[in-house]
Structure 1
Amino acid sequence: MSRRPNRFADRTALVTGSSRGLGLLIAQRLAERGCRVMLCARDTSELAFAESRLRGRGFEAASLGCDVTDDDTPRNLLAAVHDRFGQLDILVNNAGIIQVGPLEALTEDDFRRAVETMFLAPLRLTLAALPDLRTSTAGTLVNVSSVGGRIAPPHLRPYAAAKFALAGLSQGLRAELSGTGVSVTTVLPGLMRTGSHTAARFHGRPGAEYGWFAAAASLPLLSMNAERAAHPVVRAAELRRPEIVLTPAARLAVTLQGIAPATTTRVLGLTARLLPAAGAHPRREVPGTTASAESGLPTSVTALGDRAGRQLGEPEPGL
């Protein structure tokens, strides 16, 4: 039986938010498929770790520290790719931020930052990259949205709003670019064990918010091993699939939303009532590492998520 040809061999990929977590694993999987990989993220020390991890495994990788929300970032990233590797063939928009808390504890600026990071930044970078992708014989755009971009969970409003926008953009781009040779794949992950609970920012009652979010992002029945997620993401992009939904829970939620949207809304409403209230004096922007100490959550509950975070570059709880 003959194998499918490797469409990504000897290609150049740019992955945003690739210093840790799913972005790093996608970059590693692309490198395993024969890609030259440009990494980018804000934290230069984490980027150095990620680049050394790939290069230590014999892969061709480079990195550039940047904030994807800066207006100059698309130009700087494309220049770095061209200087180091030549034409860009694959763009993966993965960078994101997570803000957890009730609506009463959030501000317009929280929504603005989420939209800037997870919608406008991918839009600007995509527009800058399209000339390269159009002339490549393997032009591929991958937008990592979320199941939260299809079903808006409570206490994750800025994140869900931005991911809804990105999912809509991605779906529209696939139709708009049909016939140009550029393939667009939308990725809708559910909760994954990447240590994201330590990188999130918590609002309202941080300890209580951390408790439910960290547990959900760590327990096996609710979350997925991120290393297992990277392979189907890259495979879907290589096969030019329009969309991939990751984790059984996410697939079930998307199916329920399509079949019974009113029931889904009622379930989400009940969930919202069970989550912590903002409290008399809501706090803002509390790091996960601080919120964990206030939560009283046993470390055994987050053991799998914490271990994944250590392996994938997230900060350890309590540090």
Structure 2
Amino acid sequence: MKLAQRVAVVTGAGGGIGRAIALSLAQRGCHLALADINGATAELAAAEARTFGVRATHHQLDVACRYAVRTLPPVVRAAHGRVDLLVNNAGVALGGTFEQVSEEDFDWLMEINFHAVVRMTRAFLPLLKASDDACVVNLSSLYGLIAPPGQAAYAASKFAVRGFSNALRHELAGTSVGVTVVHPGGVNTAIARNARVPAAAPEEEVERGRKIMQKLLPMPASEAGEIIVRGIERRQARILVGSDAKIASLLERLAPVSYWNLLRKAIKA
């Protein structure tokens, strides 16, 4: 996919992987509509993207709000005239076992991590189909490949993104719209540090979990963003970001039931 002079919509673009994707796209001459729940960070990302000579607009967007998602496409079309690439990156994290996590918190995460992906895709698909060369890029996770304990809600949302993306790709085969699903491994962003935790979870358990997670996030966001954009250029159906994601994918295929016994030992080591 030739990205120069294309137009991309990126959610969660105010920081982390979303911002890194946006800047990698800008370096290739791709114009941007950057959306984030934090309008100030989206504005800063758009300003940085413009230093590469592209047109970049910023949009404050709560992807969990049906009305906001539904009304964004005409705003982007008015500003840019077209949309060729949709990157559904916005996401949140939630720690705790299934029994610890409340129904409200579980639903909150699913609204942002999965239902928003579906809504954004539905909202922008008519504009994407009008392009001669377009792509939907959905951010799943390492936990859309494997499902560790303590991540029931997060893994459920990311497996759902994976399944939705794969089915949509098959449905859109033969059209100008491709579908890519991305599985980042340990990327050093704020999502783990800002993860919501159940009130019932013991504080020492929460802190121990955060320290373990931080050790598993070695890759800079900028590197992850560049890997993802290179994969988009190659029109890869699936992008595995990091050796941890590649190893987990292989282990899950070789030992689909018992892989966690092997990974648990490696993490403890």
Q: Same fold (TM over 0.5)?
A: yes
Q: Paired residue for 2:153, among 151, 158, 180?
A: 158
Q: Distance in 1 between matches of 2:111 and 2:23?
A: 26
Q: Paired residue for 2:163, among 156, 162, 168?
A: 168
Equivalent residue runs for 1:279-318 within 5 Å: none
Greater shift in the superposed pair: 83-92 or 57-66 = 57-66
- 2:214 pairs with 1:217: yes
Q: Distance in 2 between matches of 1:256 and 1:21?
A: 27
- 2:236 pairs with 1:241: yes
Report the RMSD for the aligned CA atoms in angstroms.
2.1
Q: Distance in 2 between matches of 1:40 and 1:210?
A: 31
Change over 3 Å in CA distance of 1:58–1:215 after alignment to 2: farther
Cα distance, 1:104 vs structure 2: 2.8
Cα distance, 1:189 vs structure 2: 0.7
Q: Are the counterparts in 2 of residues 139 and 181 from structure 1 also a CA contact under 8 Å?
A: yes
Equivalent residue runs for 1:1-319 within 5 Å: 7-203=2-198, 204-218=201-215, 223-267=218-262
Cα distance, 1:269 vs structure 2: 7.5
Change over 3 Å in CA distance of 1:58–1:140 after alignment to 2: same
Q: Distance in 2 between matches of 1:135 and 1:82?
A: 12
Which residue of structure 2 lines up, in the alignment, with residue 287 of structure 1? Answer: none
Q: Distance in 1 between matches of 2:262 and 2:197?
A: 23
| Matched residue SS, 1:199 | coil
Structure 1, unaligned stretches of length 5 or more? 1-5, 275-319
Q: Distance in 2 between matches of 1:177 and 1:18?
A: 26
TM-score, normalised to structure 1, is: 0.78
Change over 3 Å in CA distance of 1:176–1:269 after alignment to 2: same
Q: What are the superposed Cα offsets for residues 153-198 of structure 1, whole Å, 9 maximum, x if unpaired?
A: 2212211111110100001111110001111111011121123333
Q: Distance in 2 between matches of 1:243 and 1:83?
A: 31
Q: Counterpart of 1:181 in structure 2: which amino acid?
A: S
Structure 2, unaligned stretches of length 5 or more? none
Cα distance, 1:90 vs structure 2: 0.3
Q: Distance in 1 between matches of 2:159 and 2:152?
A: 10
Q: Counterpart of 2:177 in structure 1: which amino acid?
A: V
Q: Distance in 1 between matches of 2:190 and 2:207?
A: 12
Q: Distance in 1 between matches of 2:136 and 2:203?
A: 36
Q: Counterpart of 1:168 in structure 2: which amino acid?
A: G
Q: Are the counterparts in 2 of residues 90 and 141 from structure 1 also a CA contact under 8 Å?
A: yes
Q: Counterpart of 1:114 in structure 2: which amino acid?
A: L
For these two proteins, the number of residue pairs brought into alignment is: 266
Q: Are the counterparts in 2 of residues 196 and 217 from structure 1 also a CA contact under 8 Å?
A: no
Greater shift in the superposed pair: 72-81 or 171-180 = 72-81
| Matched residue SS, 1:91 | strand
Q: Distance in 2 between matches of 1:50 and 1:41?
A: 10
Q: Counterpart of 1:205 in structure 2: which amino acid?
A: P
Cα distance, 1:271 vs structure 2: 9.4
Q: Distance in 2 between matches of 1:147 and 1:160?
A: 9
Q: Counterpart of 1:138 in structure 2: which amino acid?
A: D
Cα distance, 1:215 vs structure 2: 4.0
Cα distance, 1:80 vs structure 2: 1.8
Q: Counterpart of 1:156 in structure 2: which amino acid?
A: Q
TM-score, normalised to structure 2, is: 0.91
